Chains A and B, each alone.
Chain A
Amino acid sequence: MKLSRNALYGSLLLLPAAVLLWTFTYQPILTTIINSLFSTPRGRRSAEFVGLDNYDVMINDPVFWKAMSNNAIYAVTTIPLSMALALGMALLVNSKLRGQSLVRMAFFTPTVLPMVAVANIWLFFYAPDYGLIDQFLRPFGLAGNNLLGTPDTALWALIVITVWKEAGFFMIFYLAALQQISPTLLEAARLEGASPMQILRRVTLPLLMPTTLFVSINAVIGAFRLVDHVISMTKGGPDNATTLLLFYIYQTGFSFWDTSYAAALTVVLLAILALIALFQFGYADKKVHYR
């Protein structure tokens, strides 16, 4: 069999990307899976094959289940909230509005701030008694809230920050998509006597579906990826109320030095993300019109 010249060129052109993908994605995944089947090497004790021991420990680890349930709450709240807010803001700044660019900039600002800086600003918003939020609640007789220092409210306090930060980022995508919509479609709808609500439901939103899919994938990844504020605000406390899966992996790997257990936790996170990605690309993709 003779290799055609085109095939040769093609594979050579693909080679650099393939090498990078293998080195930085597939090989680490394989190594992680292998490491999760061994014990953690310590000083004079080398790693030994332990099979599924690490996974057995995980099933009986209350902190792991706490991290999972926290992460579930975190995902199902931050994703729809930040997307809905982003769409609302995009529709607002897309319409004729005075000081339009100023409002756009204001909405986008939280996104360009580094998460660590954001976390430090919000630390003082949340401070009991003299923090911005407590100052605001004081006239209503609701002062003295220690939002970050109470297990029932700490996770919600972090959810608010995430929504505030992510929404501006997603707004940019929605705004770009809105500007792409052909005015003739909107004019035609108006001539037919459609109300603004109908135009939104029947014309604008369907045309935004591809963008919505793209943003939702980003939001899901973000829900499992964003842990900077946990590290700089609560360190997973009080009593694991704000421990998210990635933070727990970081803690296990780099403060407990239990690398094999951290590898097992990483395998679980990878499996979750792979399943979500399969669903999004395999199922949701087919539901989107106007490709």
Chain B
Amino acid sequence: MARGDGGATARGKRAAPRAAKPGAKSTGDPNLVQLLTPDGDRIDSATGPDGTEYRVDFTDEEYRGLYRDLVLVRKLDAEATALQRQGELGIWASLLGQEAAQVGSGRALRTQDMAFPTYREHGVLYCRGIDPIMPLGLFRGVDQGGWDPNEFKFNMYTIVIGAQTLHATGYAMGISMDGKIGGDEGEAVIAYFGDGATSQGDVNEAFVWSGVFNSPIVFFCQNNQYAISEPLERQTRVPLYQRAAGFGFPGVRVDGNDVLATYAVTRNALDNARNGQGPTLIEAYTYRMGAHTTTDDPTRYRIASEVEAWRAKDPLARMKAFLEKQQIADESFFADIDEQAKRESLHLRERVLAMPDPEPLTLFDHVYAHGSPLLDAEREQAARYLESFEGSAH
């Protein structure tokens, strides 16, 4: 599926920023960058912990495009959850509640930037212009979720927690070694991970590495408050963004349910990276509204009032409220978006159901680039075995 028309990365003529509502305030936390309140009021600009000022200047079309992204991403995710419940996917890791963090950061990427996801970055994948069916093979069990990272500038999903942050770091080192720093062709890398991953050695090694090599990388931590059942308090005693200081680069906490602030903070960090100013750690403060995966039962470890408090900060609702208050979109726009989302999710469903199981002998493919005599022998043996069944098609 192509990215929504009028996406936030469209290079249109920029209108002046919508006037902020007089007196509109952020959540009150000076260390949380916010440009859109949960009530849908715009904040003109916000200042990060190091004094950086963040603002956005989207056109109306771009605002509508961001909203379209949020709705589509949520709808496609919901469809995948439904497919799992109907037995069509083995498992699904839902992004519900994290749409703004993913769309905001995903739209902040330039075409040449490279992203290294975990297994939950369906929204970023969508923003990269990748067909949303691509990760579903992994969850349906018909492939390992493989695609060409260099074609899409989006690495394969990584299941082992935090491992991809080192891959991202190495890739960023390669950018420096290739001299692709600065200028219009300057490249940057973004590495996604969760709050639980910050406890991993690999993530800390990635911080060390990127710091000492001043690599063009943005570490984008979606702090969704839980690592399966373990709350943030089990991972850290200090706010995660503050850890960056110990590694020698800036850290900033952004309202991860605010697509505008997430975009602004990520774009700024990516620009700094591509211009040779090294890494940034972004902590997108958000909440996983659903389960860790479809095998999880969050009612065992979370209280309902906490979930409800976060529901009031919903990233889609606040963007819709903003569009309505500012009269950027009308009812027919919202109805059209909902209709488009339905169509695309139905289309996704049809294609998932049509995904064939791989031929058994393909399990021997691509283990090695140059092959292996042992594997060749096993493949032949397996083929003979399969052929031994009466009426076998093999």
Partners in one complex: no
